[in-house]
Amino acid sequence: MAIEKVYVVGAGLMGSGIAQVAATAGYRVTMRDINDEALAKGMKAIEKSLGKFVEKGKVPEDTAKSALANIKTTTEMKDAADADLVVEAVFENIDLKLDVFGQLEEITGPECLLASNTSAISITSIASATKRPEKVVGVHFFSPVPMMMLCEVIYGQQTTDETVAVVKAWAEDVGKDVVVVHKDVPGFVANRVGLAMSGVAIDLVASGVATPQEIDKTMKLGFAHRMGPCETADLTGIDVLHNAMKAIYNETKDERYWPPVLMQRMVTAGLLGRKTGKGFYDYSSGEQVAYWEL
């Protein structure tokens, strides 16, 4: 099966990033959100991101222009009717995802592949909203999508090898290194490992053992990580990690994945990281500034 037309559900940080990399690779992309304001914000983010790549010489200017021309926006789910691949990138809520996939089941053609960009919710559960679970697959990109190289492609209980092969090839074509996750386990691979580390790091901050910058420095210099766990939490969004941890905990009841109290308080306070200007670091000046004191 050849993928030519890609329909992305969601124009937020993840959806706009997925639309950008697909359009840059030459795919015709339709990006959908609930209103024109959200779509305009998503397109502005894409234009800004492409502009930075052009400035740094990583993307030719004509390629950036072609990418923008490859993206259409819509508020109508029915515009997914002629898509070869749909990538859902809405908020991490199982009921919302089930609603989206139920609509896509009725709208899209029988050969269309349906992918969820979930970071922790069961692919099998999402596929239950459709009559074609063999064509439903997980495609977990990492934030920010245009810069992060990893993409997990995840089997659901009934996903076929053919579906995984086609989506894997597409993800590689948009520039990603792919890890295939062969079993639909909570958190897949990356979050099953990474969130356990994040929880420990946040507990260490909360208990006064070390500051976020000290913990990040330890992991970067001691374990050759490019970013420390607190920096990563700020980049991804502390609310996103919070929801992913709860999703894993709800399925496994493994206490390692119950969101730390400090994380819960930060979500309540709106200290979500880069997107709100402050998390474990302060970004209000446009730079990452350490401010946490014990």
Residues 277-294: what's their mean pLDDT? 96
pLDDT tens-digit map of 206-259? 999 999 999 999 999 999 999 999 999 999 899 989 999 998 999 999 999 999
Give the pLDDT score at 211.
Answer: 98
Q: Report how far residue 193's alpha carbon sits from residue 271's, in angstroms, rounded to the nearest whole number.
A: 24
- Fold type of domain 5-181: Rossmann fold (3.40.50)
| Sequence letter at residue 144 | P
pLDDT tens-digit map of 162-215? 999 999 999 999 999 999 999 999 999 999 999 999 999 999 999 999 999 999
Instruction: Give bridge partners of residue 112 from the DSSP assignment.
Output: none
CA trace torsion 7, 194, 175, 154 (10° rounding) = -50
pLDDT at 1 over 90: no
Burial class for 55, CB neighbours closer than 10 Å (0-12, 13-18, 19+): exposed
What amino acid positions are annotated as catalytic residues?
A: 119, 140, 152, 191
| Sequence letter at residue 242 | H
Give the pLDDT score at 143.
Answer: 86
Residues 103-112: what's their mean pLDDT? 97
pLDDT tens-digit map of 24-36? 999 999 999 999 9
Domains 5-181 and 190-276 are alike in CATH topology: no
- The reported pTM is 0.92
Give the pLDDT score at 216.
Answer: 98
Burial class for 111, CB neighbours closer than 10 Å (0-12, 13-18, 19+): exposed
pLDDT tens-digit map of 61-101? 999 999 999 999 999 999 999 999 999 999 988 999 999 99
Domain 190-276 bears CATH identifier 1.10.1040.10: yes
pLDDT tens-digit map of 39-56? 999 999 999 999 999 999
- CA atoms 161, 165, 171, 177: torsion sign: positive
Question: In the chain, what are the domain boundaries?
Answer: 5-181, 190-276
Residue 141: which of 15, 40, 12, 8 has the closest Cα?
A: 15
